[in-house]
Amino acid sequence: MSSTASKLPPLATLGPFIALILACVFFATQSERFLSAQNFALILQQVMVVAVIAIGQTLVILTAGIDLSCGMVMALGGIVMTKMAADYGLSAPVAIACGMAVTMLFGLINGLLVTKIKLPPFIVTLGTLNIAFAATQLYSGAQTITDIPAGMTALGNTFQLGQTAIVWGAVLMLVLYLVTWFALRETAPGRHVYAVGNSPEATRLTGIATDKVLLGVYVLAGLFYGIASVLSVARTGAGDPNAGQTENLDAISAVVLGGTSLFGGRGMILGTLVGALIVGVFRNGLTLMGVSSVYQILVTGILVILAVATDQLSRKGVR
């Protein structure tokens, strides 16, 4: 019996999956529409932007950092790429590259301030959050940007899977999770990310350049925010200067609900995907039940507190 139990994954790993299944069972009893394939496809479409932002956020949190600027940097990237296409007539690929270059630049700035000046990630990204917000409003004139080429919304197109329409952006999201899962699990740089989060000093003494690892993580996070910008533009068909207001906290919620420790060094990227789905399932299920958005935010907040409390108790148990 004890041998069998020892082979099972720990509760911290199984917890997010159990929570997602229980949530699906509960909402299936509350609405006949919930279990339909169309509704699950809609949930994937609704969470794809937050889920891709959460990949970058997971990498940062695994190093015991946090990135408060992720949503606003994503919004700035969307504004830059849509303005480049709408106002300067750049082709969709070039305009998208410009937007992603900006999000990666913010990642580079965050990384340099954390590694070279040794500023706390919380303070650094709080500052860049405000800079990105101001830049977004000033550059866009606080106006939504439309009249963009069709190539920028290609990932918002759908294909048929049986009777269900699946958006291409959701497929890209799943591919990104698989690639990141493989990189973290099977490559040396991926293992270095966990090592830096566990003990940066011990990692440095083994000969690993911890500053390079941290800098790479922040730049890579910026890349994922840029991809999320593309998905956001593809989903809405416009550059929205007010985007990123809720995606910021939703992405952090997804990471925490997925079992990644805010203290760094523990967690798995597929758990973050489950965390994003938990947020999406609760929002979708509560909407089908006719619950207002205010109560949806309230429920999300309670879930995050429960997840952090579970992580804290788990760490005490380990000690």
Question: Which residues partner with 158 through β-bridges?
Answer: 167
Distance from C-alpha of 96 to C-alpha of 90, rounded to nearest angstrom: 9
Per-residue pLDDT tens digits for 15-68: 788 889 999 999 999 988 898 999 999 999 999 999 999 999 999 999 999 999
- Please tell me the least confidently modeled range out of 93-107, 180-194, 244-258: 244-258
Mean pLDDT score across all residues of the chain: 90
Cβ atoms within 10 Å, residue 131: 15
Q: By the 8 A CB rule, do 102 and 76 touch?
A: yes
Distance from C-alpha of 254 to C-alpha of 246, rounded to nearest angstrom: 12
Q: By the 8 A CB rule, do 167 and 158 touch?
A: yes
